[in-house]
C-alpha cells in the first residue's frame, strides 16, 4: 500500500535509530512505502514503536535496501562509527539513500541503487 504524507504522519514518529539513515525530508515516508504490507499493517495497528514492527522492519530494510545480513550491517565501518557516536548529530554524516555520503558501501550496493 502507498501511504500519503498525511496518513504516514498520523501513525506517529517513524524513527530508525538502529539504522544510520538520514531521515530528513520524505525519506521515512519512502522507506515506509517500500515495506511489505504486513509490516505496514503492524505500524497502523500498533504504531511505529511496536517492538515486532521495529525488529521486523530493521531486518527487512537491512536485507532488502542494504543487501546484507543484520550481522554484516553491524560489521560495516560506517555502522560502527554511527554507534560509537562519531556521526550522531553531525549534519550530513548519516548514510543517505540518494547517493550522498555513501560511507563504506560496496560497488554492488551502488549498482543496486541502495545509495
On whether residue 59 sits in a domain, the answer given is yes
| Residue pLDDT tens, the chain, 115 long | 899 999 999 999 888 777 777 777 788 899 999 999 999 999 999 999 999 999 999 999 888 888 888 889 888 887 777 777 655 544 334 455 544 333 444 444 445 444 4
Separation between Cα atoms, residue 105 and residue 115, nearest integer Å: 8
On whether residue 2 sits in a domain, the answer given is no
On whether residue 15 sits in a domain, the answer given is yes
On whether residue 31 sits in a domain, the answer given is yes
On whether residue 1 sits in a domain, the answer given is no
- Write down the pTM of the prediction: 0.69
On whether residue 53 sits in a domain, the answer given is yes
Separation between Cα atoms, residue 62 and residue 57, nearest integer Å: 8
Q: What's the pLDDT at 46?
A: 95
- Looking at the structure of the chain, the number of domains it has is 1
On whether residue 106 sits in a domain, the answer given is yes
Domain range for 55 is 7-111
Amino acid at each position: 500500500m502507498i501511504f500519503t504524507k498525511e496518513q504516514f504522519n498520523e501513525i506517529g514518529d517513524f524513527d530508525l535509530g538502529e539504522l544510520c539513515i538520514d531521515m530528513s525530508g520524505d525519506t521515512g515516508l519512502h522507506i515506509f512505502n517500500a515495506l511489505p504490507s504486513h509490516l505496514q499493517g503492524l505500524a497502523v495497528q500498533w504504531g511505529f514503536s511496536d517492538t515486532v514492527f521495529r525488529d521486523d522492519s530493521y531486518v527487512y530494510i537491512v536485507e532488502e535496501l542494504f543487501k546484507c545480513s543484520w550481522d554484516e550491517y553491524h560489521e560495516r565501518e560506517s555502522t560502527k562509527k554511527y554507534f560509537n557516536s562519531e556521526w550522531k548529530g553531525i549534519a550530513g554524516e548519516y548514510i543517505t539513500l540518494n547517493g550522498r555520503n555513501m560511507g563504506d558501501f560496496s560497488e554492488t550496493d551502488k549498482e543496486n541503487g541502495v545509495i
